[in-house]
Structure 1
Amino acid sequence: MELMRNVKLSMFTDEDMQRVHDYSLKLLWENGVNIANDRALTLFKKHGFKVEGSQIYITEKQVEEALSRIPTHFVIHGRNSERNLDLGGGDYGVCTPIGPVNVRTMDEGLRQGTLKDAENLVKIYQASDVININTNNGVETNDVPTENRHLEIMRMVLKHTDKPIYTRLFDYEQMHEAMDMVEIAVGEKLEKGGNIWFAPGSCPSLSPMAYSREVADCIIALAERGQVVTLGSATSTGVTGPIQIFGTIVMQNAEQLAGMVLTQLINPGNAMGYGVAACPGNMRGAKYCCGSPGRVALQIGSIEMGKKFYKLPTRTEPYTTESSLNDVQSGMESYEGSMANILAGADYQLGEIGTLDALMTVSFEKTILDEEITSRLLYIKKGIDVSEEASAVESIMNVGSGGTFLLEDDTIEQMHDAWYPQYTDWNRDIDKIGDDGYRYIIKKANEEWKRRLEEAPETMLDPGTEEALDDYVKAHSK
């Protein structure tokens, strides 16, 4: 019988998590949360909440009612049903970035992103064996007018992927238009009680203890169409949150509870994700710091609150680095943060895969290398078999003292199941690589993303669907 033992990274005891919850309830009732959004305020008043101006006060009972309605898992669909993911139900979603401003490649260096870059990234993600959730905004499309950007990036992503999709946030009307376009592509209505085809990378709070009008509108629009609402917090300790890591976890947990309450007022039972993205502040610059080891503690503790305490699908933010280049610092910080997120038991990511420079830049080469980081960690996440057969006692006795296991039946049968690198290299010959050996892996990554683009199809939509999308974009462009 197979018995698997998995890695479990933990930060809190059960008592610690209960204290986070209790402190959060205190904040929500005694301080309240500010949501300067007329749609949201109308909802809260209609349901009997205490509202003073744009400050909303939420009771323990109101929180518990909302929590009782949220499902413990949800299925996000791709146009290829074999790519559907049950998040919270055992699958792990590896997603891609949302909106870095710049692009970096080994060939061209640093420049601003364009719609063509975003399209190329979607094609690269589509061809990945690791990435299983695509995005419409792997880099910001700086060459497209903002009033039409949502239409162009939705048409582009629907044309070039059949995986589930993540989206950047739009305003209320644009979010509904984006969902209209998904309906055209999938041939199904997006409505309360229906399937989930569309997820935001994050609907973040505006720390401390607030939600912006724009994010509240996104939450409302998504819940009105029955699509998953993934909350989040990009709190920076000592800047937008308390300097204490525990205090920031408390505060952002309160903010997420407020987002859950709002969502459940719109559509009771709407699927939700508990989002994790806080980082310590770099107090030498008073700014968010993607490369600090303190984010490991912040994010493990937060994952435990979402996954273990509330039993909700939980989303994380790995791969982040302060480095502007694919260098040693980038590798250290990306692996460190990804390890914490993946091995702490989260269900899916706001990927930030391939990002550099504190989320401002996406690197085509780092995208490929971060896939390998993920592959390594998912192998570790699977754990080890501790069954009687896996003890290998019979094999050890068969070899005896001083022998070798190279030709043992177990070795021959199972050696291909081990993890092997695709882009890093365990057998390279430094004499053949030459003086430029330190760029060897970057060159392999460069070759891989170019190969994927060369092999990508021109479209993944049938002509009728593509024409319908084109018509929709034309009719709604400004």
Structure 2
Amino acid sequence: MHYFEYFDQKSVEEIHAATLQVLETVGVDFTYAPALKVLARAGCRVEGERVYFPPSLVEACATKAPAEFTLHARDPGKNVVIGGDTVAFIPCYGPPFVTDLDRGRRESVLEDYINFVKMSYASLAMDITGGMMAEPNDIPHARRNAEMMYASMRYSDKPFMGGAIGEQAARETIEMAALVFGGKAALAERPPFISILCSRTPLGYDDRMLGAIMAYAEAGMPQLISSLSIAGATSPVTLEGTLVVQNAEVLAGITLTQLVREGAPVVFAGSSSAAAMRFGTLSIGAPEMAVNTAATAQMARFYGIPSRGGGALTDAKIPDSQAAMESMMSQLMATLSGVNFVLHSAGILESYMMASYEKFVIDDEICGMCKRIKRGEEISAEKLALEVIRQVGPGGEYLTRMHTFQNFRKEFYAPIMEERENFANWRKKGGLTLEQRANRKWKEILAAYEEPALPGETDKALRRYIDTL
């Protein structure tokens, strides 16, 4: 399919030129001594913690990042290609609270995280098991990342997202994955996970993120180099100015990864949006977020690097009409603009603060619809259907034709919560709202879940590892 593009080529080149100027003359703060040493050796001017990037170095490093790479699942049939014309949907990430219609809003625990792993595994639309889909607040910090990684590898055989809360979490993720996937050398050849590492906007990176970036790059592990700039708060109020700040942060991080390990897989990850100016808070349901998503996809294509943006994002507090409106806007924009890696594709509420069981299922439906749109069409004799049109002629019907029976399953998207009956039948079945049907559906998914069990010795090795933390 052809992609929607927000800017023309001249504008993209102007944004790139402005970004290089910022990197060269304003610089980016790096608060991690090992990163400063790597950048200084490569020719960057370093003054204290401020790094000034030569444009030629930035452009050279961008060309070294691969345009496409594969995440290798425990089940090879679920491998995921990142880049090119592909799109991958990944569920919610980071919320410390969860909600459902039965229990309401509450702090999330490990059981919630495991439930979202199982729901991601069962989903036909989610390609990758999420990262911190629901923070396990009942687990001590020292073991929290390891327990999430264990759950991701035990309860799903899809690729997953690695720890992103510092160098220690990165090394835990690498070591645990090595126990399952054949050692560290095998990981570099066939990476099973990807992680997200974020800038400290505006124009900075802290030591925790930099330690993780370097650890993952050294190991050859894919990572999202991400910026979340807030227009009017942590970046200029203009979307173009915000895009320049975001661009500078992402390119600075990508430059570091390529200096640590040339060819390390990265994703150009933009998630910037606007401030809700009346409240001074981040708004992820704003149309400006969708604009940034389209622009991020364009800039990533300009550099020849896979992109991340969008998601089923909303500022709504419950899975209501606002949530549906904002989520479809953002998810569809990511799909149509050619984003390769769509994080937060299912479950997010309350501006990243809460994950909803019901919204997870509703968003999964949205993702199925978006994948149907993304699939596109191919002109062929079967598709043009001239023969059946001739047979039916004016005033006929197609419902009973063999052409219909042979093609409808692959032509039409089949909803996971179909509600297309007439009013009388809907009332007879209880007249349930979408949220109520989603409540019933997530319970059915968990009740029907069957574990893709790890080999016994592998499971024991993972548990022994966690016990040492």
Task: Give your verdict on TM over 0.5.
Answer: yes
CA drift at 1:39: 1.5
Q: Is 1:199 aligned with 2:211?
A: no
Secondary structure, aligned partner of 1:420:
coil
Q: Which residue of 1 aligns with 2:154?
A: 159
| Closer, same or farther: CA 193–365 of 1 in aligned 2, 3 Å | closer
Q: Is the 8 A contact 2:188 2:221 kept in 1?
A: no
Q: Which residue of 2 aligns with 1:294?
A: 288
Question: Which of 122, 127, 130 is equivalent to 2:122?
Answer: 127
The residue type equivalent to 1:273 in the other structure is: V
Write out the 4+ residue segments of structure 1 that deviate beyond 4 Å after TM superposition: 190-193
Identity of aligned residues (%): 28
Give matches, 1:233-244, under 5 Å: 233-244=227-238
Question: CA–CA distance in 2 between the matches of 1:100 and 1:193?
Answer: 30
CA deviations on 1:431-469 (whole Å, 9 max, x unpaired) are 6537973x4322222222212222334562111111111
Q: Is 1:268 aligned with 2:292?
A: no
Q: Is 1:221 aligned with 2:227?
A: no
Q: Is the 8 A contact 2:85 2:338 kept in 1?
A: no
Q: Is the 8 A contact 1:98 1:168 kept in 2?
A: no
The residue type equivalent to 2:6 in the other structure is: M
- Unpaired runs of at least 5, structure 1: 1-5
Q: Which residue of 1 aligns with 2:183?
A: 188
Q: Which residue of 2 aligns with 1:31?
A: 26
Secondary structure, aligned partner of 1:448:
helix
Q: CA RMSD in A?
A: 1.9
Q: Which residue of 2 aligns with 1:328?
A: 321
Structure 1 stretch 296-305 or stretch 148-157: which is displaced more? 148-157
Q: Which residue of 2 aligns with 1:305?
A: 299
Q: Is 1:425 aligned with 2:419?
A: yes
Q: Is the 8 A contact 1:191 1:226 kept in 2?
A: no
Q: Is the 8 A contact 2:224 2:266 kept in 1?
A: yes
Q: Is the 8 A contact 1:118 1:136 kept in 2?
A: no
Q: Is the 8 A contact 1:190 1:196 kept in 2?
A: no
Q: Which residue of 2 aligns with 1:474?
A: 467
Question: CA–CA distance in 2 between the matches of 1:443 and 1:467?
Answer: 40
Question: CA–CA distance in 2 between the matches of 1:270 and 1:191?
Answer: 15
The residue type equivalent to 2:190 in the other structure is: N
Give matches, 1:54-453, under 5 Å: 54-190=49-185, 193-200=188-195, 202-306=196-300, 308-417=301-410, 418-430=412-424, 432-433=426-427, 437=431, 439-453=432-446
Q: Is 1:463 aligned with 2:456?
A: yes
CA drift at 1:399: 2.5
CA deviations on 1:243-268 (whole Å, 9 max, x unpaired) are 11111112211111111110011001
Question: CA–CA distance in 2 between the matches of 1:150 and 1:131?
Answer: 22
Q: Is the 8 A contact 1:7 1:383 kept in 2?
A: no
The residue type equivalent to 2:417 in the other structure is: Y
The residue type equivalent to 1:188 in the other structure is: G
Q: Is the 8 A contact 2:230 2:275 kept in 1?
A: yes
Question: CA–CA distance in 2 between the matches of 1:424 and 1:435?
Answer: 13
Q: Which residue of 2 aligns with 1:3?
A: none
Q: Is the 8 A contact 2:149 2:163 kept in 1?
A: no
Question: CA–CA distance in 1 between the matches of 2:76 and 2:84?
Answer: 16
| Closer, same or farther: CA 434–234 of 1 in aligned 2, 3 Å | farther
CA drift at 1:326: 1.2
CA deviations on 1:278-319 (whole Å, 9 max, x unpaired) are 11111111121011112111110111111x211211112311
The residue type equivalent to 1:60 in the other structure is: P
CA deviations on 1:347-375 (whole Å, 9 max, x unpaired) are 11222511111111101111011011011
Secondary structure, aligned partner of 1:86:
strand
CA drift at 1:170: 2.3
Secondary structure, aligned partner of 2:4:
coil
Question: CA–CA distance in 2 between the matches of 1:428 and 1:461?
Answer: 46
Question: CA–CA distance in 1 between the matches of 2:9 and 2:16?
Answer: 11
Secondary structure, aligned partner of 1:274:
strand
CA deviations on 1:107-152 (whole Å, 9 max, x unpaired) are 1111100011101111111111111100242101111111221122
Q: Is the 8 A contact 2:290 2:310 kept in 1?
A: no
Secondary structure, aligned partner of 1:134:
coil
CA drift at 1:7: 4.8
Matched residues, number:
468
